[in-house]
Chains A and B, each alone.
Chain A
Amino acid sequence: MHEWDFAATLADMDLLLLGLWNTIQVFVLALAFGVPLGLGLALGRMSRTPVLSQLCSFVIEFFRTTPPLVQLFWFFFALPILISVQMTPFVASVLTFSIQSSAFFAEIFRGGINSIDKGQWEAAKAIGMTRKASLRRIILPQAVKRMIPAFAERSIELLKTTTLISTVSYADLMFQANELASKTFRPLEVYTVVAVMYFFLILVFSQITILLEYRLAKSGEGTMR
């Protein structure tokens, strides 16, 4: 029977908290870049210009079908060789997960936009709105409400996938956990604490999205009643 002893782990809690902070940084930046990029890719894919549409489809499919670990290694090791840029683990991580998640967000955006009744486009068109204005004023505000559950799901997935960045020596929560485990010889305790930290991080995030969904539902139509 294992004798649980959290003393060593808790003594080095600052290491884990630093890791948590680094994880949050990559996550937030990947969202901040990934969501707008995803919208751009979705609009590109739905464009009536065949070249643009095919290009965006290709980018989306490419990043959805290749493993994130391969993408991360590619950005971290291959990109500096191909175009002589300095690549830090942090930049490679943000770059990888921005683009990787944008491919998924693009499909969520596309699904959300397509789910809006054709009549909404027609009504906007009939009062003289351009396609751009219709999208911005009429379609997207409705689509975004419907997208929130899928968006939250995908973001949680993203947060969990960021554990991969420990493999390029970025000091995220997982990386710090590995370090601490080998330092304290208490892997069970360390990974238990780390699991609890991920649990609370994601719990807080998902509560925020539920709150957001609830708030939006109050104004007119929403996914929650």
Chain B
Amino acid sequence: MTNAVEIRELHKSFGDLEVLKGIDLDVAQGEAVVLLGSSGSGKSTLLRCINFMEEPTSGRVSLNGDLIGTEQGGRMRYRESDLCQLRTRIGMVFQHFNLFPHKTVLENVMEGQVIVLGRSKAEAKEKAMAQLARVGLEEKAPEYPARLSGGQKQRVAIARALAMDPEVMLFDEVTSALDPELVGEVLKTMRQLAEEGMTMVCVTHEIGFAYHVANKVCFLHQGQILEQGAPQVVLKTPETSRVREFLEGHSLFKLPE
């Protein structure tokens, strides 16, 4: 079976700073992959290279067998229109929600469907309501985002991405800006998506989520994948001291059993 996402020899530099130093990553269809690593390890940049929010400096990215861009003189070239088309096939959810504040919840979820995919308003509305129901927020459809809690905003953002019928969903630290008590509802929505077979790549600091939901975790360190594998292996018996230190830092204070 073709991989949903295939990344080969990916490099990304910002000016002189090389953030990604040769990444190879496969995401199988229906798989949930969690990217871990300390800040500055390149995990967010890697995620953003998958839907070309950042253009890789070199390397190849394929989505369900389609190589993105065309090769010219040993370099990949990307046309803006192709990238816009690609992004309709990949959903992305951000740390700060980025809902459109001047549009209602329903309009937020309809916007891309109507403007980008060219769906009729009736079809888009029906689809939007279905996705809002999926994240448990259909009764918030007429509200403006300002009236929602952080957790609700993030679930609307998830519905907005899902309404485009993406082949892959990307989650960029989507619970980091939430009050602790609101983290659960968002993680629950993500878990439900994973169980429904959605292919997803998540950058998160929620080790528990990685352990229980991910099929694969990748630990990034200084722009490279240091360890990857099943969460039960990588998180329980890490091979490198770097990963051990990282995990210890995340579990310094635990409630007694």
Q: Are B84 and A126 in contact (CB under 8 A)?
A: no
Counting CB contacts under 8 A, is B92 at the interface? yes
Counting CB contacts under 8 A, is B134 at the interface? no
Known A126-B87, A127-B112; judge A220-B102 contact (CB<8 A): yes
Q: Are B102 and A127 in contact (CB under 8 A)?
A: no
Q: Are B115 and A126 in contact (CB under 8 A)?
A: no
Q: Are A129 and B101 in contact (CB under 8 A)?
A: no
Known A220-B102, A220-B103; judge A127-B111 contact (CB<8 A): yes
Report chain A residues within 8 Å CB of B87. 125-128
Q: Are A123 and B98 in contact (CB under 8 A)?
A: yes
Counting CB contacts under 8 A, is A141 at the interface? yes
Complex Cα gap A208–B183 (Å): 45
Nearest chain A CB to B25's CB is how many angstroms away?
Answer: 20
Segment 68-103 of B: residues with Cβ below 8 Å from A: 80-81, 84-88, 90-92, 94, 96-103
Complex Cα gap A183–B160 (Å): 70
Interface of A is mostly: helix
Number of interface residues of B (CB under 8 A): 34
Report chain A residues within 8 Å CB of B146. 220-221
**Beta-carbon nearest neighbor of A144 in chain B:** B102
Counting CB contacts under 8 A, is A119 at the interface? yes
Report chain A residues within 8 Å CB of B90. 126
- Which one, B92, B99, B102, B144, contacts A141 given CB within 8 A? B102
Counting CB contacts under 8 A, is A54 at the interface? no
Report chain A residues within 8 Å CB of B97. 119
Known A129-B116, A130-B80, A220-B146; judge A137-B111 contact (CB<8 A): yes
Q: Are A119 and B85 in contact (CB under 8 A)?
A: no
Q: Are A137 and B53 in contact (CB under 8 A)?
A: no
**Beta-carbon nearest neighbor of B102 in chain A:** A220
Segment 125-140 of A: residues with Cβ below 8 Å from B: 125-130, 133, 137-138
Segment 9-37 of A: residues with Cβ below 8 Å from B: none
Nearest chain B CB to A176's CB is how many angstroms away?
Answer: 44
- Which one, A127, A142, A221, contacts B160 given CB within 8 A? A127
Report chain A residues within 8 Å CB of B104. 220
10 nearest A-B pairs in the assembled complex, by CB-CB distance: A127-B112, A128-B88, A123-B98, A119-B98, A126-B92, A220-B102, A128-B116, A128-B87, A221-B101, A220-B144
List residues of B whose CB falls within 8 A of some A CB.
Answer: 51, 53, 80-81, 84-88, 90-92, 94, 96-104, 111-112, 115-117, 144-146, 157, 160-161, 164
